[in-house]
Structure 1
Amino acid sequence: MRTCGSYLDEVPLHHSHLREEGSPGGSHLQRQGFLLNRLLNLSLSSDLVPDQDVIDVIIHVGRNPHGRHLAWRYFREKWDILNSRYGEALFMNSKLISGVTEFLNTDTELNELKEFIQISGGGAGPALARAVEIVEANVRWHSLYQRQIFQWLRKSPNG
């Protein structure tokens, strides 16, 4: 299997305003988000990504801090296509669901997940139920430890 980065190397970039120019960081982040979104859109609609790699590409985009929200949105928007293409392969469907939801950690994202399950009819059954459990645990963890972690990060290294 190819890496997500190797697919990114082949994504055509026709928008010169997104090239790395100007302020360091800002345009790079904009370009990275653009490329990740472009890769997601090409994954189902082109020959760039073979069918057997589509799920892995979506998951790897979701593991990128700049791609997490893109992958989650893409998953919800393309659910009917993804489910019809990979739904029979329960392992693939479960892998995709856990891959795009494992890093969700806010009340808003939890509500989006629950709303998605209601709208989609919960077609993936146990995988979606497990995703809700994981996101609920992530939200609880954040509410318990976020303040302590921020305080720890703000501490001077000298004491």
Structure 2
Amino acid sequence: MSESKHRHKQTTLRLLNLSLSSDLVPDQDVIDVIIHVGRNPLGRHLAWRYFREKWDILNARYGEALFMNSKLISGVTEFLNTEIELNELKEFIVTSAGESAPAFARSIEIVQASVKWHVQFQQQFYQWLRKAPDG
């Protein structure tokens, strides 16, 4: 891992930890911090891992607010797109989601569709990107 990527990872992990465990980020904004980290290609895996590791805390804090919990679940899982991540999601639901498992149903559908798209079209997409423009 390059020095800058390592530094980015450490800074991002620090941000995630501070958002959940300090007064620097208001409670209602913690979910947005995690989601925005997950939308960054370099932060996607960190957000997904953090979400799983901190699920008990997050669910205890936001589980009663169904909108917040659904927003968090969809925000963290919407960019998962590999078979490995799909299996991690399924395993997480079985082992950890508990009463929140139904909230993950839509996420499973979205990730399955994304995995299917990648399997079908990823190679063609990369070939199209490499193709010289006409003209």
Q: Given the two structures, how large is their TM-score scaled by the length of structure 1?
A: 0.80
Identity %: 74
- Would you say 1:97 and 2:73 are equivalent positions? yes
CA distance in 2, matches of 1:87, 1:121: 11
Q: Given the two structures, how large is their TM-score scaled by the length of structure 2?
A: 0.93
In the alignment, what sits opposite 1:6?
none
CA distance in 2, matches of 1:120, 1:137: 23
* Residue among 124, 129, 145 paired with 2:121: 145
Q: What displacement does 1:32 show?
A: 1.7
Q: What displacement does 1:127 show?
A: 2.1
The structure number with the bigger radius of gyration is 1
Read off the aligned partner of 2:114 and give its amino acid letter: N
Read off the aligned partner of 2:105 and give its amino acid letter: A
- Would you say 1:135 and 2:111 are equivalent positions? yes
CA distance in 2, matches of 1:107, 1:122: 23
Which segments of 5 or more consecutive residues in structure 2 lack a partner in the other structure? none
- Is the CA contact 1:86–1:93 (under 8 Å) kept in the aligned structure 2? yes
Which segments of 5 or more consecutive residues in structure 1 lack a partner in the other structure? 1-25
CA distance in 1, matches of 2:91, 2:16: 22
Note the aligned Cα RMSD (angstroms). Answer: 1.3
* Residue among 50, 55, 62 paired with 1:74: 50
